[in-house]
Amino acid sequence: MSSFWNLPNTITVVRILAIPLIVWLMMDGSWGRSWGAGWVFIFAIIGDFLDGYFARKLNLQSKMGAFLDPLADKLIVCTVLIMLIPLGRVEAWLVALLICRELTITALRAVAANDGVVIAASKWGKYKTAFQGTALSLLCLHYPFVGVDLHRVGYGTLWVATLFSMWSALDYLVGYARVAESAAAS
């Protein structure tokens, strides 16, 4: 039990536990609650960086951490995307597209792992993550700040993230197909 409650896993669990708070903050779309949700989401994104950093730095990488960290990422991102729909900040079809991409790549990674293949994050996937985190932060914050229309900037950034999302999905699928084809030929 003590090996589970290390610093990286604790950060990941706190990120997962932040999801109900984000949902509650996003319920009405008011300025204060939007900003609260935005900052909780930003701290969750920072936590994503920190849990990986500490896992590597302190040599605390574990199978449970390798499972929980991407799960936390997907739960938080999908929750925020879904909560943005009733607030009118993003279209449902775009959310469906992004969630379908996440589920497809998660399933692909599971199939690959079953075949003994590890699909590492590509540079395109890392770009997607960076743009998506930025976009969702801005869309949560939503309201203009010092003359900047955070919604407009966030929405535009979400489109960039969507392009990277689709490109990285294709990259993962093609990469896995090559590995599977090569293994079948051997």
157-178 average pLDDT score? 93
Q: What is the pLDDT of residue 122?
A: 83
pLDDT tens digits for 11-53? Answer: 999 999 999 999 999 999 999 999 999 999 999 999 999 998 9
- Does residue 119 contact residue 176 with C-beta atoms inside 8 Å? yes
**DSSP-derived 3-state class of residue 145:** strand
Rounded Cα distance, 113 and 117, in Å: 5
Q: What is the pLDDT of residue 141?
A: 97
Run of H or E including 152: helix 150-185
Q: Is residue 75 part of a domain?
A: yes
- Does residue 40 contact residue 7 with C-beta atoms inside 8 Å? no
DSSP code per residue over 72-133: HHHHHHHHHHHHHTTTTSS-HHHHHHHHHHHHHHHHHHHHHHHTT---PPPHHHHHHHHHHH
- Does residue 98 contact residue 135 with C-beta atoms inside 8 Å? no
Provide the token pair at 13. Answer: 């669990």
Tell me, what CATH number does 38's domain have? 1.20.120.1760
Q: Is residue 176 part of a domain?
A: yes
DSSP state of 5: S
- Does residue 11 contact residue 49 with C-beta atoms inside 8 Å? no
Q: Is residue 91 part of a domain?
A: yes
What pLDDT band is residue 1 in, cutting at 50, 70 and 90? very low
Run of H or E including 41: helix 31-57
Q: Is residue 1 part of a domain?
A: no
- Does residue 61 contact residue 122 with C-beta atoms inside 8 Å? no
Q: Is residue 34 part of a domain?
A: yes
pLDDT tens digits for 173-184? Answer: 998 888 877 777
Global pTM value: 0.91
Q: Is residue 18 part of a domain?
A: yes
Q: State the amino acid at position 26 in one-letter form.
A: M
Q: Is residue 114 part of a domain?
A: yes
Q: Is residue 112 part of a domain?
A: yes
pLDDT tens digits for 7-20? Answer: 999 999 999 999 99
pLDDT tens digits for 77-129? Answer: 999 999 999 999 999 999 999 999 999 998 998 888 888 777 777 899 899 99
Domain that residue 38 falls in: 7-185
Rounded Cα distance, 181 and 115, in Å: 12
Q: What is the pLDDT of residue 153?
A: 98
Count how many domains the chain has. Answer: 1
Q: Give Cα separations from 62 to 17, 35, 39, 74, 147 (angstroms).
A: 20, 34, 29, 19, 45
Q: Chain-wide mean pLDDT for the chain?
A: 92
Provide the token pair at 162. Answer: 């969507």
